[in-house]
Amino acid sequence: MLLESIKVAIRIRPLNTRDLEISDKSTLKVTDQETLVAIPPVEAEVKQVKKSYKFNWVFDQIATQKDLFEKTLEYQVLSVLDGMNVTLFSYGASGTGKSHTLMKMNDDYGLLIRALNQLFQTIHNRKRKIQMKFSYIEIQQEQLYDLLNNMNGNLDIRDDVEKGVVINGMREIDVTSTQEVINLIQYGKRQKSTKQHEVLIFTIYIQDMVGQNNEIQISKFIVADLAWLDKSGQKSASIQVLNGCISLLSEAQTKKIQPFIPYRNSKLTKILKDSFGGNSKTLIIGCVSPSVANYEETIQTLEYCSMAAGIFNQGTIKTIQQSNQHEDIKSIYDQLINENAELKKQLNHKSNQKPLNNEKEQTKLYEENIIEHFNNEQDINQSIFKYQWEIEQIKFNVNENQENLQRVDGIDRNSADKLRFQIEQDLKQLHNYQEQLVKFQKQASNFSIQRRALEENVNQSNLSNSYKLYLTNLIEKHVLRVEVFEIKLKEQINELHRSQHERIMAIQRSQITLRDRIIADQRKHLISHGKNRSVQHYSQIDTTTEVIDGTKAKLKHYPLPKVKDHYFNKQAYLQRKESPKSIFSPRLQTPLQLKEKKPYVPKTPHTKILDNLSTPIIPKSNPLAKAPPSKLIDSQFMVALPLITTNRNLSKFVYDWRGSGYKFVEDQKNIPSQRELKKVISSKQYTQQSLDKSFFTTSSRSTSAKRVSFKQSLLLPGKVHESPYVKGFINKEIQRKMKLKQLNQKMMKATKNK
Ligand SMILES: Nc1ncnc2c1ncn2[C@@H]1O[C@H](COP(=O)(O)OP(=O)(O)OP(=O)(O)O)[C@@H](O)[C@H]1O
């Protein structure tokens, strides 16, 4: 069992035109990300004063749906795939944006759609067999209707020991994508009357494919969009019951008592029973209006929400087939309960025989003392567990985010910044929790001494033996109860480790698939290009000849990219009988980026220069399209520029050429800038001969067929050339300029004559 406090986020909606007609003043002031102050309007009663409220999150008028999702639900909702129940509901007066926040299904999606996207994406990435079923119901004047089956009349709710709250006869439809759910909601909405509570239930069945005992975990994601008023415009009766339950639970929490909570008084609270005080991670979005006109309702919402924020739930993971260990614990527990009942019976019997009022009262005092001690012990153990759990989770998240950061750093600045921020926040939180944990552990270390003191007190008392026996048994019972509880907590932590491990495995699997894809892409690419072109020039890159699919192909081997070892299973790759050197991955890309399939163009000293030059786009019909495009500097020379042509083959070719362009140049550092080039050209220092020399030195020993030449349409990037290929172009250009000059002269003459 783990304790999980109900989380509450407050969202303030913007003032609308109706509000502005009354006043443009806001009654709410957000002071930080967790606090807001309610300022009574001037007309309000004198008694009212400013009041500050603290929640898990406060979102002001400008917060977006995305902000809300990322901060509140994004990670929490994934617990449902680890067997926890998750509940999300909105709470607040009419028109405060409850449906907008939860249910918006177009443009700026609400939390539901975002959560579903997240869930389905994760389900697709996981190896376990996960099935999701969707049910959609409406509560209308204490009657429950199935919106996916209008043949179903008023449905019945019952409590099931294994499955929790169950709605008899409710239709459950298998869903595999967000779109399917949207379609069903749209269908359901047609059956729905306005101003009613609607509840969406997603039941998740998870089969453990790895374990031997074939367990199926069941968990629920419940989303409730509540109506504040009923059809007659009165405050909904179910909301009033809900309010009652919240205040009783909150009171119980502060006074540490076990009260009776009237869940059964309304259908809504019956359904939400597990979400309050049950086994659920619950998130409440309290929606409020900042308008002067809605002040009363706003205060009501804030009061109930802050009460709800103090409630703790007990999270347990439910499985259909319990494991043996679980059975053992259950039987120990049952046995203890029976023993206790038996002892009580014996004691009653004895006390009926000889009423020993004084002794009885003394025993009662001892009893209270013992119970208080063990309640304290249990509370502290629960807190220790809660912090251990959170610490484990944060550590895992930090690790995961740090690895993600390594992958996106330098590629996607936005994501990297976001990750860095998240890591920083998590580390702060981690530090905080570790401090708390130490505090609680210190308190826990005194427990065994205190237990012994209790026993000694009982033994040294003047009580008769039967009372002493009762009290020592009581102590023993509680010791066992605490031990059973500790076993359960350890089980929970083990479960957490197991699910974290599974997540890492899933990531690794996707990394391997990704790398296989990169390798396959590269091979395809090399086969189609390796045949037509010499690879001699890549002097620093190894080349080999291999027979691939019956074709002899020259492959160039690029160095292996740096990838974190555990993300790259070298062993698995070597078993494919290839040298790891032959993989060329420009950079390990995230699966998302791979989808876009952007060619990777590394920044070389050339691209820096070339990027500064404007890039002409040359049509296919132009003879120049066969060569990498160039820029005319004067009638004799041109500078080679980076691609771009409409010819697909060429652009691929040039992409290769760009990718390794610096291999052609002897002295990379001395590539002239555009200004320097112009200077050189005007001083005519650069002759055709010197150009050729610098151009061909790296391939001087190779045959003319292989060497890079103008005939093969390759130009030296950033250098100046004279080429027969550009002659036609140049001549045309000169002709055009001359024509223009003649035309100008004609015009000038004509105007002079006038
Ligand atoms: N944060 C927001 N940003 C922009 N518009 C909002 C926001 N919150 C609410 N609105 C708008 O205010 C109007 C009322 O919102 P909505 O219907 O969601 O309220 P509600 O609380 O669900 O009301 P009811 O209880 O009557 O169903 C809608 O037109 C909605 O688009």
Cα angle, residue 240 at apex, residues 228 and 219 outer, rounded to 5°: 80
- 623-649 tens-digit pLDDT: 333 333 344 333 333 333 332 222 333
Determine the atom of ligand 1 nearest the C-alpha atom of 11. 1
Specify the higher pLDDT residue, 348 or 461: 461
CA distance 531 to 528: 7
pTM for the full predicted model: 0.47
Residues counted in the chain: 754
Pick from 203, 223, 215: nearest CA to 81? 203
Q: Which residue has the higher pLDDT, 593 or 490?
A: 490
User: Which residue has better confidence, 268 or 675?
Assistant: 268
pLDDT of 571: 43
Q: Is 65 helix (H, G, I), strand (E, B) or coil?
A: helix
pLDDT value at position 277? 63
Q: What's the pLDDT tens digit per position in 9-68?
A: 999 999 988 888 888 888 999 998 889 999 888 755 555 678 899 999 999 998 999 999
Per-residue pLDDT tens over the stretch 116-127 = 999 998 888 776
Query: According to the model, what pLDDT value does residue 13 have?
Result: 93
Residue showing tokens 């913007």: 14
Joined together, the tokens standing for residue 339 give 């023993």
State the closest ligand 1 atom to the C-alpha of 226, by its place in the atom list counted from 1.
25
Q: What share of the chain is helix, strand, coil (3-state, %, to 5)?
A: 55, 15, 30
DSSP for 96-109 reads SSHHHHHH--SSS-
Nearest C-alpha neighbor of 52 from the set 68, 66, 62, 38: 38
| pLDDT(284) > 70 | yes
Q: How far apart are CA 58 and CA 237, in angstroms?
A: 28
Q: Which of 211-220, 267-276, 442-451 has the lowest mean pLDDT?
A: 211-220
Interstrand relation of 85-91 and 280-288 (parallel, antiparallel or unpaired)? parallel
Cβ–ligand 1 contact at 197 (below 6 Å): no
Atom of ligand 1 nearest to the CA of 195: 27
478 Cβ contact list (under 8 Å, min separation 6): 370, 371, 374
Measured between its terminal Cα atoms, the distance across the chain in Å is: 103
Closest CA to 90 of 267, 244, 224: 224
| pLDDT of residue 710 exceeding 70 | no
Hey, whose CA ends up nearest to atom 14 of ligand 1?
Answer: 95
pLDDT, one tens digit per residue, over 331-363 is 444 555 555 555 555 555 444 444 445 778 888
Ligand 1 atom 25: residue of nearest CA: 94
pLDDT of residue 250: 81
CA distance 248 to 61: 32
Buried b / exposed e along 627-636 (16+ C-beta atoms within 10 A) = bbbbbebeee
> Distance (Å, rounded) from C-alpha 342 to C-alpha 352?
15
pLDDT of 156: 83
Q: What are the φ/ψ torsions at residue 160 (nearest 5 degrees)?
A: -110, 135
Give me 110's structure tokens.
């609400």
Query: Is 178 exposed, middle or buried, given 0-12, 13-18 or 19+ CB atoms closer than 10 A?
Result: buried
169 CB-near residues (< 8 Å, 6+ apart)? 146, 152, 155, 156
Between CA 71 and CA 277 the distance in angstroms is 24
Identify the CA nearest to 49 among candidates 36, 37, 60: 37
13 within ligand 1 shell (Cβ under 6 A) = yes
Band the pLDDT of 112: cuts 50, 70, 90: very high
Contact by Cβ (8 Å): 33, 57? yes
Q: Of all protein residues, whose CA lies closest to atom 23 belonging to ligand 1?
A: 95
Locate 310 and state its tokens.
Answer: 């103090």
Tens-digit pLDDT profile for residues 711-754: 333 344 334 444 333 344 445 556 677 788 888 888 888 877 76
Average pLDDT over every residue of 695-707: 33
**pLDDT at res. 14:** 92
The response to whether residue 99 sits with its C-beta less than 6 Å from ligand 1 reads yes
Higher pLDDT residue, 533 or 457? 457
pLDDT at 260 over 80: no
pLDDT for the residue numbered 338: 57
pLDDT at 334: 54
Q: Select the more confidently predicted residue: 735 or 418.
A: 418
| Tokens at 630, concatenated | 């160039």
Residues 311-319 have a mean pLDDT of 56
| Neighbour count for residue 599 (Cβ, 10 Å) | 12
Residue whose token pair is 């339950």 = 245
| Rounded CA separation 85/207 (Å) | 16
Answer yes or no: is 96 a known binding residue: yes
| pLDDT over 50 at 656, yes or no | no
Tell me: the pLDDT tens digits for 294-305? 888 999 999 989
What's the pLDDT tens digit per position in 191-234? 777 778 999 999 998 876 554 556 677 889 999 998 888 777 78
Q: Which residues pair with 224 in a beta bridge?
A: 89, 199
- Does 100 contact ligand 1 (Cβ within 6 A)? yes
626 has binding-site annotation: no
| % residues pLDDT > 70 (the chain) | 60
User: Is 708 or 518 the better-scoring residue by pLDDT?
Assistant: 518
- In angstroms, the CA 480 to CA 336 distance is 8
Average pLDDT, the chain: 69
Task: List, for residues 468-489, the tens digit of each pLDDT value.
Answer: 888 888 888 888 888 888 888 8
CA atoms within 13 A on the CB side of 117: 12
134 pLDDT band, cuts 50/70/90, is very high
Number of the ligand 1 atom closest to the C-alpha atom of 12: 1
The number of CA neighbours under 13 Å toward the Cβ of 443 is 14
Cα 523 from Cα 606, distance rounded (Å): 27
- Per DSSP, the residues of 197-238 read EEEEEEEEEEE-SSSSS--EEEEEEEEEE--SB-TTSSBPHH
719/671 Cα distance (integer angstroms): 8
Helix (H) or strand (E) holding 524: helix 465-530
Quick one: which H or E segment has residue 678? helix 674-683
Q: Does 97 have pLDDT greater than 90?
A: yes
Distance CA 732, CA 726 (A): 10
- Compute the half-sphere exposure of residue 70: CA atoms within 13 Å on the CB side of its CA: 9
Tell me the mean pLDDT in the region 534-557.
48
Q: Ligand 1 center to residue 42 CA distance, Å?
A: 26
DSSP structure string for 233-271: SSBPHHHHHHHHHHHHHHHHHHHT------GGG-HHHHH
**Nearest-CA neighbor of 12 among 55, 48, 49, 62?**
62
Has residue 674 got a pLDDT over 70?
no
Average pLDDT rounded to a whole number, residues 259-269? 81
The predicted pLDDT at position 676 comes to 52
pLDDT band, very low/low/confident/very high, at 518 (cuts 50, 70, 90): low
